[in-house]
Homo-oligomer: A and B are copies of this chain.
Amino acid sequence: MDGYHFSTEVLVRFAETDAQGIAHHASFVVWLEVARVAYLAEHAGGYLAIQAEGIEALTTAVDVRYHRAAYFDERLRIWTRCVDIRGARFRYEYAVVRDLTAGAAELVAEGSTAHATVDSATRRPKRVPASFAEAVARAESPA
């Protein structure tokens, strides 16, 4: 996926479907979080490493655009990138795709989330840890 260097997979659970016979739209919001956690585990020591710095990352915005339905027991790939780290804020962008044969992929949904870092105790804004910013810089500009 152009512009993305990291992806993770989810398998659509039956509990995530709805009476329209497709994955419920709120399930995607959970999957984007699963993808962020996987990104952090791969690149930045995991979410626990952020918490170990006395920081919590809150979600301040989410948007998803749904292009195609997803179905039970289907494997989806979530391309994920972290962008725009500034002060106590950062964003993620996502492309949810189904992998087709021969390397082709079909776009199922796109989304973005915005986050604010706060002090775990006071819940007041606290800058994104330098270690996280550096890990993201490396992750998004691979050699």
Contacts and interface: CB of A to CB of B under 8 A. Distances in A.
A123 to B, nearest CB: 8
A61 B64 contact: yes
Interface string A34-62: 10010001000011100000001011111
B14 A18 contact: yes
Copy count, this protein chain: 4
Interface in A91-125: none
Contacts of A86: none
A74 to B, nearest CB: 10
A25 B19 contact: no
A121 B58 CA distance: 24
A3 to B, nearest CB: 21
Interface in A52-85: 56, 58-66, 69, 72-73
A63 B61 contact: yes
Nearest to A26: B29
